[in-house]
Amino acid sequence: MTQVREDLRNIAIIAHVDHGKTTLVDQMLHYSGTFRDNEHVAERAMDSNDIEKERGITILAKNTAINYKDKHINILDTPGHADFGGEVERIMKMVDGVLLVVDAYEGCMPQTRFVLKKALEQKLNPVVVLNKIDRPNARPGEVVDEVLDLFIELGADDSQLEFPVVYASALNGTSGNEPEDQQKTMEPLFETIIEHIPAPIDNREDPLQFQITLLDYNDYLGRIGVGRVFRGKIKVGQQVSLLKTDGKVKNFRVSKLFGFIGLKRTEIQEAEAGDIIAVAGMEDINVGETVCPTDKQEALPILRIDEPTLQMEFVVNNSPFAGKEGKHVTSRKIEERLLTQLETDVSLRVDPTGSPDAWIVSGRGELHLSILVENMRREGFELQLSKPQVIIKEIDGVRCEPVERVQIDVPEDYTGTVMESLGERKGEMMDMVNQGNGQVRMEFKVPSRGLIGYSTEFMTQTRGYGIINHTFEEYAPLIPGQVGGRRQGVLVSLENGKSSTYGIMNLEDRGIIFVDPGTEVYAGMIVGEHNRDNDLTVNITKEKHLTNVRSANKDQTSTIRKTRKLTLEEAIEYLDDDEYCEVTPDSIRLRKKILNKNEREKASKKKQI
């Protein structure tokens, strides 16, 4: 009979964005007594990065551990957003079961499907947690049926279909085995985990096999490999071999081992089969590589890493305002920063171009790349970005492009507009369900090209009432011709100077303005959206001539419309082929690649010929 480690459980928490899994982990940490009573712990303690805290999303997979009674439970909190799917897939290899967290009102969402599919493919046993059970419009019975339907649709086997359900409110710290039976404790959840998640196999006497699943980086220790000991034991000071993904073998000595408890890493001397640990002492370590004894070299199957689907050009800032707001502006600094990102981000690619001042950066989606840019601007970098392009692949001699599954929830009144706009973007409707209460849920398959820049248009179409979620589905044969793209032209500044109230008021009937009065602008900078499909060069710095008839303060009573401020994601999505987004620590500006009006017109005429 196979020996198992009854004292240990390894689980991953999976869910759609904002269904409350990070808050649930907080409650589990508190209830298990992992924190001292007097220890101050931030809300959503697992989200350690500033952007994660602000946006309430998990970007990087995190691991923590809890001691409950005589059991040690390793918990991996995975990102819910499909752009970070590479992390989710690898984590599934480290664990023996999953907690699927589903919102008791929203039910199954696109990323629920995405992360669950990865878990079922690994034959992992699920425990379903119906969270937010305290919501006034919660519908637990229907949502459990939806989850069951999703399991069947994704090809779950009989043992996976017999999933236990725990009802919880992570916010209130309650859980129970029935929706009405809510106790101020996480005990029902812990007991369900111990009963239904299999214990790891105990093969500590066999030769060592440890696989790297996540990378971390520390200035003192260098690269740190986080992973699971699949077989045998590993000790500090041990001589081991690292089997590289390219077939090479490197020998090294284990300098430090870390275990996990709560949110802390603790130094340990030894780990054995089933443990999830971090190893330091290897500079050249990568995801998917196996650590084993030098005299018994057996590699575990290499982990598949999701390929990038979107690329953008990162260019050194060369606008008239270059160097005014940022600390790091040179090509050397930007290149160093991008190469540092590659140390821990395995789904990212950085390729040089013909110019020493530009790089092609490829990632898993707009969110993946915009978070890298947001981190860089917070660190004091200035740079320019080109319009995102999808990565076209050749599969069996056919050119293919990424296609996404899009789920849309809108009030009934807007269904026609949304269907028409996605139809124009080559979207194909898969499903439409009237959910009652005036809401409709629609599912489409849309080429990723068609979704670039769509979210702004979607919000306008649905007056902000619509919710859109999308996740990568597959690569499919390329649809010829133009798909999506911006329809409106832009208003481009004619001169350098400060935008004036008078200049803005003169332009208000021409479109939507992006800058406030008194904003420094330069010739070639985009200052608004034209209400027609062509670009218009405008004088936004124009001042009113003073005459002896009118006094200077006559216009102070005039009011101007509210300007439209673009976030980083919106600005990146908004770009056209001949434009850059200029990003600095203080500002996000849009500009034409060619700033001079005459040269720009010559270039566009050449293009038309």
Of all residues in the chain, what percent carry a pLDDT higher than 70? 87
Q: Residues 370-393: what's their mean pLDDT?
A: 89
The pLDDT of residue 48 is: 40
Mean pLDDT comparison of 239-253, 270-284, 311-325, 394-408, highest-scoring range: 311-325
pTM score above 0.75 = no
What pLDDT, in 10s, does the model give residues 584-608?
Answer: 999 999 999 998 888 888 888 877 6
The pLDDT of residue 318 is: 92
The pLDDT of residue 47 is: 40
**141 & 240 share domain:** no
Annotated binding-site ranges: 18-23, 131-134
Q: Which residues of 80-102 are buried (b: 16+ CB within 10 A; e: fewer)?
A: bbbbbbbbbbbbbbbbbbbbbbb
**Domain range spanning residue 574?**
490-608
Listed residues 196, 225, 240: the one ending a domain: 196
Weakest-pLDDT range from 127-136, 229-238, 257-266, 493-502: 257-266
Listed residues 250, 266, 293: the one ending a domain: 293
**80 & 185 share domain:** yes
Weakest-pLDDT range from 356-370, 388-402, 454-468: 454-468
Bridging pattern class, strands 209-218 and 222-231: antiparallel
How far apart (Å, rounded) are the C-alpha atoms in residues 407 and 573? Answer: 19
Residue 332: which pLDDT band, with cuts at 50, 70 and 90?
very high
Residue 140 domain flag? yes
Listed residues 244, 275, 293: the one ending a domain: 293
What pLDDT, in 10s, does the model give residues 91-126?
Answer: 888 888 988 888 888 887 766 777 787 788 888 888
**How long, in residues, is the chain?**
609
Annotated binding-site ranges for GTP: 18-23, 131-134
**231 & 274 share domain:** yes
How many distinct structural domains can be found in the chain? Answer: 4
Of all residues in the chain, what percent carry a pLDDT higher than 90? 10
Residues 6+ apart with CB under 8 A from 390: 309, 310, 311, 401, 402, 447, 448, 449, 452
Helix (H, G, I), strand (E, B) or coil at 401: strand
CATH number of the domain bearing residue 261: 2.40.30.10
Give 45 or 11, the one with higher predicted confidence.
11
**218 & 280 share domain:** yes
CATH number of the domain bearing residue 600: 2.40.50.250
Residue 187 domain flag? yes
**182 & 218 share domain:** no
Q: Residues 182-211: what's their mean pLDDT?
A: 87
**46 & 184 share domain:** yes
Q: Residues 147-158: what's their mean pLDDT?
A: 86
**592 & 450 share domain:** no
The pLDDT of residue 219 is: 67
Asked whether the predicted pLDDT for residue 53 surpasses 70, the reply is: no
Asked whether the predicted pLDDT for residue 555 surpasses 60, the reply is: no
Asked whether the predicted pLDDT for residue 158 surpasses 80, the reply is: yes
Neighbours of 125 (CB within 10 A): 18
**21 & 131 share domain:** yes
**163 & 39 share domain:** yes
Closest to 16 measured CA to CA, from 134, 139, 136, 117: 117
Residue 582: which pLDDT band, with cuts at 50, 70 and 90?
very high
- Tokens 């004292």: give the residue: 7
Residue 485 domain flag? no
Q: What is the distance in angstroms between the CA of the first residue and the CA of the last residue of the chain?
A: 77
Residue 560 dihedral angles phi and psi, to the nearest 5°: -110, 155
